[in-house]
Each structure stands twice: as structure tokens, then as C-alpha cells.
């Protein structure tokens, strides 16, 4: 430990406690190219929907081929063992006279990084934005299982969906339960399910394993509220110009950190303190992870305010702004007290 440094070209060495090399993977299609098969610019072997190469007597599968990404609608190299195994079965059947098409690869993947698990499936926001595919998004931080049962930990989930509600992609990170939720979301993406389908899924419930509202259901509920116009989510880095930031958490939560420049009015006191909120500016509400912010947004919109909810609340903002996570709060806007809320953060992600 200690004494490590990274030497970059054209700059001074960078001291480090821990170094990760993530160089990526490039397909090796050299043999295929020498055999006269068509390859892509990155060296990947080109195959049709039946995994047949440009030579009608040769099939190819695995990390060295490009397959269709069902969401993005283009062929990509996605080197994962699960898809490679399924491609092998398809190619073998077709080589023996069958005619089975390959449905493509969604890139469902999971990785363990120390105590955290990260997983993803479908398209990322960057991929959708680069290709100008219309989409919407929400952040949420549901517990891995019933919060009253020991060991529950919050996960961070990002859900991407079309303006019509079709699920396009998802990412999640947390200490527990991430893999099984991403399996469900990957299935939903592969079957072109909508966020309303997510809300209606019947999933196993017992306190050690999940909640009566599973995180997948919860993601569907939040996204449905967006589609139905019940909430107008905003995101870190994209707040309305001149917005009035209103923290509706309890004082003890705010003492652990808040968004710089925000004003504090706990949700329970909001109705009696509306005169402290400007009516000529956008108002961005936030709580710990979004639920109370949503309630406050509904309350203010019904009273004519131009109100928005910070998607995923302070937990999401803190993930994008870790250097400001412990900013001392402005305590000059009331000291309403009350018990900690159910959606207060339980882990730091």
C-alpha cells in the first residue's frame, strides 16, 4: 500500500493508492480475415441472423462476432459468455440443417467490485443520446429487501425508457439484490415490455428477499408517474435556470449534508410556510431519495407553483457531486423536528 503512481504520456506522474486498468476487449478476427471472411472495422467477424459468415459453409460465434443489439438496432461486438454459449447452440443447429435465428445481444452484465455489485442491461443513456433515440429516465434508491428485516441496503437504479414507456435500458449498483433485479429488467427489455408492465409484475416477496413493492415494481411506478405527467423530474447538472432549491427532509438528515444554496422546509411544515417559497421561479424539491420530494412537488403544483422533483433525491445528487456531500447546511430556515423518514439513506453509494 502507498507509493503507487500512474505515469501518463505528456504529464507528470499521478500518485495513487489503488490502480485499475480497464483496457477493454477487441475481437480477434485475423484468422477469419485471412480465410477471406468479411470483417468489421474493429476486426469482428460479420455474421447474419443465423450466425453464418460471408462463406455459406462457415458459422461463427462468441467474442469475435458482431450481433444485433435489439434496442439500438445495429450490430455490435458484445463479448459475454452467456450470449456466446447460446450462439454456439444456434450455430450448431443451423450447421446441421436447422434454421434458428439469433435474437441479438442486450449486453446484460454484472460485476462485483469489493462490497458493491454493479449491473446493466440494454442501452445506456450515452448510446441513446449519441444515436438521437428519444428517451426518458428516472433514478431511484429502493431497499434490497424489506427495510424492517436486518441487512437491508439501498441500491441505486437508473431506468431508461421511450416516450411511449418501452423499457430501453437499466443500470444498478448496490450491496445486495442487484443481480436478480437486473435479470428481471433484462428480460423486460428483451421482450419490449413497458414501464407499466414493470409496475404490474408479480414477483416473489418475503422480508429477507424483497419488499411488497419490489424495486422493479418501484421503478415502474416512478416511470409511470413521469409518463402520466404526475411528476416532472430534473437531474443533477440539468436544473432549471434560476431554480429555488427546497430541501424537504428532516433537520437531522440535513445536518449530514445538503445541496449548497438550498432552503430547508420539512415536508410536514410545507403547507404552513408556502409564503416563504417564491412564486416567480422554478422550485426544485428534494428529499433523501425522491418520495417526499414527489409529495412536495404535487402539493406545490396544485397551488400554482412551477415545481419539479429531483429524481432520486439527495442520494442521486450526492453521487454526481461527491465533493459537496458534506456541505454544512444553511440552518436559518426553521428547525421543525420529527422522526427520521423511511426513505432516509441507509448506505453511502
189, HSE (Cβ side, Cα atoms, 13 Å) = 29
Q: Rounded to whole angstroms, how far apart are CA atoms 290 and 306?
A: 17
347 within 8 A of 153, measured Cβ to Cβ: yes
Confidence (pLDDT) at 347: 34
Q: What residues act catalytically?
A: 287
Give pTM, 2 decimals.
0.87
Output the pLDDT for position 12.
84
Q: What is the pLDDT of residues 5-45, one digit of tens each?
A: 888 888 888 888 888 888 888 999 999 999 999 999 899 99
Which SS3 state, helix, strand or coil, does residue 76 take? strand
Compute the distance between CA of residue 56 and CA of residue 23 in angstroms, rounded to an integer: 34
**DSSP state letters, 120-158:** EEE--HHHHHHTT---EEEEE--BSS-TTSTT--B-EEE
Closest CA to 135 of 122, 144, 148, 147: 122
- Residue 63 backbone phi and psi in degrees, to 5: -65, -20
pLDDT given at position 123: 98
Burial class (CB in 10 A: 0-12, 13-18, 19+), 330: middle
Q: What pLDDT score was predicted for residue 23?
A: 83
Q: What end-to-end distance do the CA atoms of the chain give, in Å?
A: 24
Q: What ranges make up the beta strands (E) of the chain?
A: 4-6, 14-16, 45-46, 65-69, 74-76, 109-113, 116-122, 136-140, 156-161, 167-174, 233-234, 244-247, 263-264, 283-286, 307-310
What pLDDT sits at residue 340?
33
pLDDT of residue 17: 87
Mean pLDDT by 10 residues, the chain (349 residues): 78 86 88 95 94 96 95 94 96 96 96 96 97 98 95 96 98 97 98 98 96 96 98 94 97 94 97 96 97 98 98 95 60 33 35
Rounded Cα distance between 33 and 40, Å, is: 10
Amino acid at each position: 500500500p502507498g507509493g503507487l503512481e500512474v505515469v501518463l504520456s505528456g504529464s507528470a506522474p499521478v500518485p495513487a493508492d489503488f490502480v485499475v486498468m480497464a483496457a477493454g476487449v477487441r475481437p480477434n478476427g485475423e484468422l477469419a480475415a485471412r480465410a477471406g471472411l468479411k470483417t468489421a472495422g474493429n476486426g469482428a467477424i460479420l455474421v447474419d441472423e443465423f450466425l453464418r459468415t460471408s462463406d455459406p459453409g462457415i458459422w461463427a460465434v462468441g467474442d469475435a462476432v458482431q450481433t444485433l443489439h435489439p434496442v439500438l438496432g445495429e450490430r455490435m461486438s458484445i463479448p459475454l459468455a452467456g450470449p456466446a454459449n447460446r450462439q454456439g447452440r444456434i450455430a450448431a443447429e443451423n450447421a446441421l440443417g436447422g434454421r434458428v435465428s439469433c435474437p441479438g445481444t442486450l449486453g446484460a452484465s454484472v460485476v462485483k467490485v469489493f462490497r458493491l455489485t454493479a449491473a446493466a442491461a440494454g442501452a445506456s443513456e450515452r448510446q441513446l443520446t449519441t444515436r438521437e433515440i428519444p428517451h426518458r429516465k428516472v433514478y431511484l434508491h429502493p431497499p434490497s429487501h424489506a427495510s424492517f428485516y436486518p441487512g437491508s441496503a439501498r441500491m441505486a437504479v437508473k431506468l431508461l425508457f421511450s416516450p411511449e414507456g418501452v423499457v430501453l435500458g437499466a443500470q444498478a449498483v448496490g450491496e445486495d439484490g442487484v443481480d436478480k433485479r437486473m435479470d428481471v429488467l433484462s428480460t423486460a427489455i428483451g421482450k419490449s415490455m413497458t414501464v407499466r408492465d414493470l409496475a404490474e409484475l408479480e414477483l416473489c416477496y418475503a422480508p429477507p428477499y424483497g419488499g411488497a413493492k419490489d424495486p422493479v415494481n418501484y421503478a415502474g411506478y416512478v416511470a409511470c408517474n413521469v409518463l402520466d405527467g404526475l411528476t416532472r423530474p430534473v437531474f443533477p447538472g440539468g436544473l432549471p435556470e434560476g431554480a429555488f432549491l427546497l430541501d424537504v427532509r428532516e433537520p437531522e438528515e440535513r445536518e449530514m449534508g445538503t445541496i449548497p444554496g438550498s432552503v430547508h422546509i420539512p415536508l410536514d411544515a410545507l403547507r404552513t410556510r408556502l409564503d416563504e417559497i417564491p412564486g416567480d421561479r422554478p422550485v426544485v424539491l428534494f428529499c433523501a431519495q425522491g418520495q417526499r420530494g414527489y409529495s412536495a412537488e404535487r402539493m406545490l403544483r396544485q397551488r400554482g407553483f412551477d415545481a419539479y422533483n429531483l429524481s432520486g433525491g439527495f442520494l442521486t445528487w450526492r453521487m454526481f457531486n461527491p465533493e459537496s456531500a458534506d456541505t454544512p447546511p444553511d440552518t436559518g430556515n426553521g428547525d421543525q423536528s420529527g422522526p427520521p423518514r423511511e426513505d432516509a439513506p441507509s448506505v453511502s453509494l
